[in-house]
Structure 1
Amino acid sequence: MITNQGGEKRQLRSNELAADIAIIGGGVSGTCAAITAARQGLKVVLVQDRPVLGGNASSEVRLWMLGATSHMGNNNRWAREGGVVDELMVENMYRNPEGNPLIFDTVLLDKVVSEPNITLLLNTGVYDVEKSAADELSAVKAFCSQNSTEYMIHAPLFCDASGDGIVAFLAGAAFRMGAEAKEEFGEKFAPTKEYGELLGHSLYFYSKDTGKPVKFVAPSYALDDITKVPRFRNFNTREYGCKLWWLEYGGRLDTVHDTEKIKWELWKVAYGAWNYVKNSGNFPEAENLTLEWVGTIPGKRESRRFEGEYIIKQQDIVNQQLHDDAVAFGGWSIDLHPADGVFSEKPGCNQWHSKGIYQIPYRSLYSRNIKNLFLAGRIISATHVAFGSTRVMATAAHAAQAVAMAAKICKDKTLLPAQIYHKGFIPELQTELLRSGHHIPDLVLNDTLDLVRSAQVTASSELLLTGLPESELFKPLEFSVAQMIPLKAGAIGTFVVHAEGDAATELEVELRISSKKSNHTPDLTIDKVSLPINVGRNCLKISFDAVMPEESYAFLTFMKNPDVKLHFSTKRVTGLLSVFNAINKEVSNYGKQSPPEDIGVDEFEFWCPKRRPEGHNIAFNYQYSINAFGAANVTNGIDRPVSAPNAWVADWKDKNPALTISWKEIKTVKRIELLFDTDFDHPMESVLMGHPENVMPFCVRNYVIKDDKGTVVFTKTDNYQTRNIIELTEPLNTRSLTIYLEHPSDEVPAALFSVRCYQ
């Protein structure tokens, strides 16, 4: 029992914490940064002002986490982000293919609490900072309303991933808010004030079928006239959750300080929309539906953007500008919304894509005037136009991982964030990132610590692809379709495909490539032929006179003709895809991007895969053997398909595929890393959308590693993750390691992107 008769002012309970880096903001960016830093041995305090992690991806907001893959609606093939963000998405896919936002909460929390170097403070908001100098932070002050405790968190390095930039703002970091004029950065897509300078907040609702009639009485604050929403007819009984992304408001207000006002307006619209669905009489199918969930906090898109040493601009995205300090990448469209949001007569978004993914420079990830402050999440250094792309969660989280790795270098070498760039440590940072499974466009891992680089690598077999067999699966050419095939430079040779004709017609076939070999936009046609089609089965021999100018993907392209059916195959192979010139309205893909004149973006066609269980490859035979799947690929420093598959793939007929790594002398091995194919082309939307499988069909599930004496070193069953890290309990002295893999299925041969070994 406690009694206290006092009368004097009391003090809150206080707690002082010290860390190597304090990360403020527990959205996906802060979470990925914290895990990355902790695994590098840094002591981390992660401060999150909400009861769960994930920010806009959490069960509180329920937006799907996406990045460069853009719902598979752009030309960014194999573009899912790497490192921890990939690990989280693959883990969520395994546990939660139904897209339950509550389960995704547990995935994030599970990963964070499993790291002993992370001190997690939930329900804790930062409200003040302390500085040791005008340009240096020394501590942040935070308060947890749940345990009535005040925290003082000291650290030599800070990372603001809070969304609104609370620490950066309080510290006096230079920032911007609103859209820049076209003239400042030469951005032709910069919006006018009429269109609006800020993106608004969104708030969603869910419904469910109770199996019996349910009535709905609208609250007094519900919007009473749904026609005030110009797109009110878009409301229906089928779309809920973040498919209502366009339920947006606040772009003409202060999106930091007016958030509560914006929330109330969104509540009015959400409950008014449900009242319309339930009580207008236009939706008889809604009789048994009840309102299951309405967001209580809105998902924020834009507020402050803080200035680094480099400000990313529109041209960096569209031109895919190369940076010597590249540490991450983006690929979402430049996606700007009208400031009036749901009340605007304009379309809900205005998306313009680039032809491929673009680099994000390190100089955009730290404050230009607060010397120990990193920037992460949507607040990184970018213009309003570029922010339209960099703001999405998987892109932001990927860059946040670079911040965490930089913090490790800062600690080890007693550096400040900017000194990594100015003192020449960017190559070391890039190497550490690539080594961790991170992907940086146009960079190749040159890992001098990797013992495999000095080894001879051989395999029991290597796939020499001469084609894909027919599977009694043929589909009409309702859209133009292309088979992506990795070819070497030189003569192309002859392809053979079989087609079924419903009528006598002509079939146009083109051979296309990308104007940039690492892109997957087939914007150059290097040859074309026209072939007669008869009624019934046709054997088509397709010969091209052109030559491949360099090693890259060729697009064997069959132009739209509904009177023709092509034979497809059920065989799937790492690094092979069929793509369609179809439509995906969710990402403003109407088959072709046709921008207005002089807005600084390109015109080109979209060629995108179909989602499984569709997305079969075209059945074909080829004159030559495609030798793109050799064992040497596991040491080439690229862990995903880019301009080639970059994987060792075993032959289908090899019943016991094995990869052997041999050294001339005995090596001591303590750590082994394997990187498998978890289909980097799959977006793995984290919530709402269901997925056809919880393990990617290319992923090797079972493998065994043996040493030079045939002794089993490690056995793995039921693998589903991209990156497997094997820490041996005792150092292993051996002249060789042999990895025995099982084919994932009869339809998919075993594949492996990389093997790395360390002392």
Structure 2
Amino acid sequence: MIIEQPASKRKLKLVEINGDLIIIGGGLSGACAAITAARVGLSVVLVQDRPVLGGNSSSEVRLWVLGATSHMGNNNRWAREGGLIDEILLENAYRNPEGNSLIYDTILLEKVTNEKNITLLLNTAVYDLEKKEDDTIKSVRAFCSQNSTEYILSAPLFCDASGDGIVGFLAGAAFRMGAESKDEFGEGFAPQKEYGELLGHSLYFYSKDTGKPVKYIPPAFALDDITKIPRYKSFNSSNYGCRLWWIEYGGRLDTIHDTETIKWELWKVVYAVWNHIKNSGQFPEAENLTLEWVGTIPGKRESRRFEGDYMIKQQDVIEQTFFHDAVAFGGWSVDLHPSDGVFSELPGCNQWHSKGVYGIPYRCYYSKNIANLFFAGRIISATHVAFGSTRVMATCAHGGQAVAVAASLCKRYNQSPSEIGKHHIQELQFELLKTGHHIPGLALKDYIDLVQKAVSINASSTFQLNEIPVSDHWQTITDSVAQMLPVDQQQMPSITFYARTKQATNLKIELRKTSKSFNHTPDVTLEKIEVEITPGVENYTIAFKSFINEACYAFVCFMKNEQVELCFSDKRITGLLSVFNAINPAVSNYGKQEPAENIGVDAFEFWCPKRRPAGKNIAMKIEPALKSFSPENLRNGLQRPVASTNAWVAAVDDLNPTITIEWNEAVAIKKVELFFDTDYDHPLESVLLANPETTMAFCVDQVKLLNDKDETIASITGNYLSRRIIEFAEAVTTSRLNLVLSNSNKEALVSLFEIRCY
């Protein structure tokens, strides 16, 4: 029993916590920064002002996680972000293929709580800070409403991943809101004059079928005139969740201080939309539907953007600027929205894509005037136009991982974030690449990796691309389709394909390549050929004349002809894709991007894969065979296809292949790291979109390691992740290492991207 006498004033319970890194904001970028920092040995305090982690991806908002893959709707092949965010999305696909946001919450929470170096403070909001010096933060103050406790959190380093940048704001870090003028950075897509309008907030709803009629009486605050929403005529009863991204408002308000006002306006719209669906009489199929969930906090898009030592701009996104200090990458379109949101007569978004992914420099991830402050998430140093691309969650999470590793180097060398960029950028990139964190234009050069010192890497078989086997699957060429083939400084091989038609016709075929070898936009036409297709089923051989002078993907394009069917293959092969010149309105892909003049955006066609179980390769024979799958790829420092496959692949009939690594003398192996093909082309949207599988088709799921005495020293079963680490309690001494691999999906050839030994 507690009895307290009256007092004039009482103080809250106060808890002081010290750490190496304080991260404010438990959205996806903050959570990924915290997990990564903990894994590299930092003591981390993660402060989240909500009851769940994940921010816009959590069950509170329910937006799917997306990044450079852009719903597979642009030309960014094999572009899913690597490292920790890849691990999270694969785990979610494995456990949660239906895209349940509540299950996603638990997966993210588990990842954080599994790390003993993380102190997690939920429902805790930072409201003040103290400085050691004018440019150095000493501590932040936070309050938890659930336990009525105040916290003082101290560390040498801070990371603001809060979305609105509360710590950066309180600390006096330079920031911007609104759009820069065209003149400031020379951005073609920027306005003539700067303005303060922003991208708005969104709220979603979910519905469900109860199996019996359900009436609906809207609340008094619901918008009373649905025609105030210009696109009301396009409503339908089947859309729910973040497919309703266009229910957006607030771009003309202060998206920080007016958030509650914006939320109320969005509630008015949401309940009016549902009233229209239920009571207008236009949707009889909605009779048994009821509202299952409506968001209670809006998903924010834009507020403050903080200034680092560099501001990434439109030209960097579109022209794919190479940065010596790149530590992450993006690939979402420049995606800007009308400031009036759902009340605008304009389309809900205006997306302009680049021809490929672009690097994001380290200088964007820390404050230019607060010495010990990192930024992660949508508030990094970017212009308003570039922010239209960098703001999406997978891109933000990828950057959060880079911040965490940079913080570990700050501790190691007792240096500030900016000093790490000046003196240790290659080490930072090296540490990131080791985890499977992709950085465009860079390959891992790990000189302590024992595989680099091996005298040979051999395999029981190696796939020679002389044939993509036929199947009984035929498909009409309703959209132009291309087979991507990896070539390298060679005469383009001849191909034999299989076609059938009911009446004679001419089929146009084009051979294309990319203007930049690391891209996958077929914007250079090398040859145009016309083939006479005769009735029935026939095979046709094309001898190309072109010489390909670099390692890149060649595109054999079969142009649209609805009288012709092509034979496709059931075989899934790492580094091979068929792509279609179709449309994907969800990302403003209408087959070809045709921008207005002088906005600084390229015109080009979109050639995109189809999602499994569709998206099969085109059956064909190739002569001479393409030899892009050597075991030597296992130590080339690249863990995904780029200009080539960068993978070893076994022969079609070798279902349990063996890789043999030999050294001149015995070596002591303490750790083995393996990198598998988990289809980096697949976006793995975290919620709403159901995945057709729980494990990626190409992924090796069984591994056995043997020493030079043919003794089994380790094994992996049931694998579904890109990266697996085997650590031995005692070092294994051997002059040979054998890996026996298998894949339960028999239509996918066994493959591996990388093996490293330490």
Task: Quote the residue 2:121 is aligned against.
Answer: 121
Q: 1:473 to 1:196 in 2, by over 3 A?
A: farther
- Greater CA drift, 512-521 or 191-200: 191-200
Q: Which letter maps to 1:720?
A: Y
Q: Which residue of 1 aligns with 2:181?
A: 181
Shift of 1:746: 2.2
Q: 3-state DSSP class of the match of 2:230?
A: coil
1:671 CA drift (Å): 1.1
Q: Output aligned runs, 1:655-734, within 5 Å.
A: 655-734=655-734
Aligned residues: 757
Q: Shift of residue 195 of structure 1?
A: 9.1
The letter of the residue matching 1:160 is D
Post-superposition offset of 1:656 = 2.6
Give the drift of 1:493: 2.8
Q: Give matches, 1:606-625, under 5 Å.
A: 606-625=606-625
Partner SS state of residue 409, structure 1: helix
Contact map agreement 2:307 2:367 (CA 8 A) in 1:
yes
Amino acid at match of 1:433: L
Whole-Å separation in 1 of the counterparts to 2:665 and 2:39: 32
Distance 1:217 1:182 in 2: 48
The corresponding residue for 2:253 is 253
Matched residues in 2 for 1:375 and 1:508: separation?
51
Alignment correspondent of 1:561: 561
State TM-score, norm by structure 2: 0.99
User: 1:128-148: per-residue Cα shift (whole Å, max 9, x none)?
Assistant: 011000000010100010011
Residue number in structure 2 paired with 1:391 = 391
8 Å contact from structure 1 (residues 216, 275) kept in 2: yes
Q: Which residue of 2 aligns with 1:446?
A: 445
- What amino acid sits opposite 1:436 in the alignment? T
| 1:103-158: CA deviation from partner (whole Å, max 9, x where unpaired) | 11001001000000011000000000110000000101000100111010000000
Q: Is the 8 A contact 1:528 1:544 kept in 2?
A: no
**Secondary structure in structure 2 of the residue aligned to 1:420:** helix
CA apart distance, 1:406: 0.3
Shift of 1:6: 2.3
Q: CA deviation at 1:378?
A: 0.3
Q: CA deviation at 1:199?
A: 0.3
Q: Partner residue of 2:18?
A: 18
CA–CA separation in structure 2 for the residues paired with 1:364 and 1:195:
22
Partner of 1:106: 106
- 8 Å CA contact 1:199, 1:337 repeated in 2: yes
> For 2:509 and 2:185, how far apart are their aligned partners in 1?
42
1:625 and 1:170 map into 2 onto residues whose CA distance is 62
For residue 520 of structure 2, give the secondary structure of its aligned residue in structure 1: coil
Residue-by-residue CA offset, 1:529-576 (whole Å, 9 max, x unaligned): 101011111221111111112121110110000000000000110000
Task: Give the CA deviation at 1:194.
Answer: 10
Read off the aligned partner of 1:538 and give its amino acid letter.
E
What is aligned with 2:428? 429
Alpha-carbon distance in 1 for matches of 2:248, 2:69:
23
**Aligned ranges 1:520-531 → 2 under 5 Å:** 520-531=520-531
Q: Which residue pairs with 2:478 in the alignment?
A: 478
Q: 1:744 and 1:410 mapped to 2: Cα distance?
A: 44
**Alignment match, 2:580:** 580
Q: Displacement of 1:191 after TM fit? A: 3.3
> Cα offset for 1:655?
3.9
Deviations 1:633-683 (A, max 9, x none): 010000000011101111122243011111112211111100000000000
Give 3-state SS (helix, strand or coil) of 1:617's partner. coil
CA distance in 2, matches of 1:659, 1:700: 13
1:309-458 equivalent positions in 2, closer than 5 A: 309-422=309-422, 424-455=423-454, 456-458=456-458
> Which deviates more, 484-493 or 29-38?
484-493
User: 1:744: how far off?
Assistant: 3.5
Counterpart Cα distance in 1 of 2:684 and 2:195: 32
1:551 aligned counterpart, secondary structure: strand
- State the alpha-carbon separation in 2 of the partners of residues 724 and 194 from structure 1: 49
- Alpha-carbon distance, 1:728 to partner: 1.2
Residue 469 in structure 1 maps to residue 469 in structure 2: yes
**Residues 196 and 339, structure 1, Cα contact 8 Å, conserved in 2:** no
Q: Give the structure 2 partner of residue 269 of structure 1.
A: 269
Structure 1 residue 88: deviation in Å?
0.3
The amino acid of 2:452's aligned partner reads R
Amino acid aligned to 1:72: M
SS of 1:263's equivalent in the other structure is helix
How many angstroms apart in 2 are the aligned matches of 1:131 and 1:233? 55
Between 1:225-234 and 1:661-670, the stretch displaced more is 661-670
Specify the code of the residue in structure 1 equivalent to 2:588.
Answer: S
**Is the 8 Å Cα contact of residues 139 and 153 (structure 2) preserved in structure 1?**
yes
Q: Where does 1:37-116 land on structure 2 (aligned, <5 Å)?
A: 37-116=37-116
Distance 1:425 1:143 in 2: 36
Q: Pick which of 533-542 and 265-274 moved more.
A: 533-542
SS in 2 for 1:71: helix
Partner SS for 1:488: strand
Pairwise CA distance, 1:192: 5.8
Instruction: Give the conservation status (yes or no) of the 8 Å contact 2:177–2:196.
Output: no
CA distance in 2, matches of 1:680, 1:13: 48
Deviates more, 1:193-202 or 1:673-682: 193-202
Q: CA deviation at 1:218?
A: 0.4
TM-score by length of 1: 0.99
Distance in 2, Cα, partners of 1:192 & 1:322: 27
Q: State the alpha-carbon separation in 2 of the partners of residues 324 and 272 from structure 1.
A: 51
Distance across 2 between alignment mates of 1:654 and 1:469: 15
Query: Is residue 492 from structure 1 mapped to residue 482 from structure 2 by the alignment?
Result: no
Q: Could you give the per-residue CA deviations for residues 275-295 of structure 1, whole angstroms, max 9, x where no partner exists?
A: 000001110011100000000
Distance 2:512 2:135 in 1: 53
What is the alpha-carbon distance in structure 2 between the residues aligned to residue 115 and residue 736 of structure 1? 35
C-alpha distance in structure 2 between counterparts of 1:325 and 1:502, whole Å: 57
Opposite residue 626 of structure 2, the aligned amino acid is I
Offset, 1:623: 1.2
Alignment of 1:118-267 (within 5 A): 118-191=118-191, 197-267=197-267
Measure how far apart 1:197 and its partner are.
2.6
3-state SS of 2:335 partner: strand
Q: 1:193 to 1:251 in 2, by over 3 A?
A: farther
Gaps of 5+ in 1: none
Q: Is the Cα contact below 8 Å between 1:88 and 1:108 reproduced in 2? A: yes
Residue identity opposite 2:369 in structure 1: N
Q: 1:273 aligns to what SS in structure 2?
A: helix
Corresponding residue for 2:639?
Answer: 639
AA aligned opposite 1:547: F
Q: Read off the aligned partner of 1:74 and give its amino acid letter.
A: N
Letter in 1 for 2:741: L
Q: What secondary structure is seen at the aligned counterpart in 2 of 1:408?
A: helix
**Contact (CA 8 Å) 1:744, 1:750: kept in 2 or not?**
no
Can you list the C-alpha shifts for 1:694-752, whole angstroms capped at 9, x where unaligned? 10010011111111112211111110011001121211111121110013422111110
Whole-angstrom distance in 1 between the partners of 2:415 and 2:464 = 49
Helix, strand or coil at the partner of 1:396: helix
Unpaired segments ≥5 residues, structure 2: none
Confirm or deny: 8 A CA contact 1:658 1:738 kept in the other structure: yes
Runs (4 or more) in structure 1 with deviation over 6 Å come to: 193-196
The CA distance in 2 between the partners of 1:444 and 1:608, in whole Å, is: 26
Distance in 2, Cα, partners of 1:508 & 1:466: 23
In structure 2, what is the Cα distance between the partners aligned to 1:656 and 1:614? Answer: 26
Deviations 1:18-61 (A, max 9, x none): 11000000000001100110000000000000000000000000
Q: Secondary structure at the match of 1:407?
A: helix
Counterpart of 1:595? 595
Partners of 2:182 and 2:193 within 8 A in 1: no
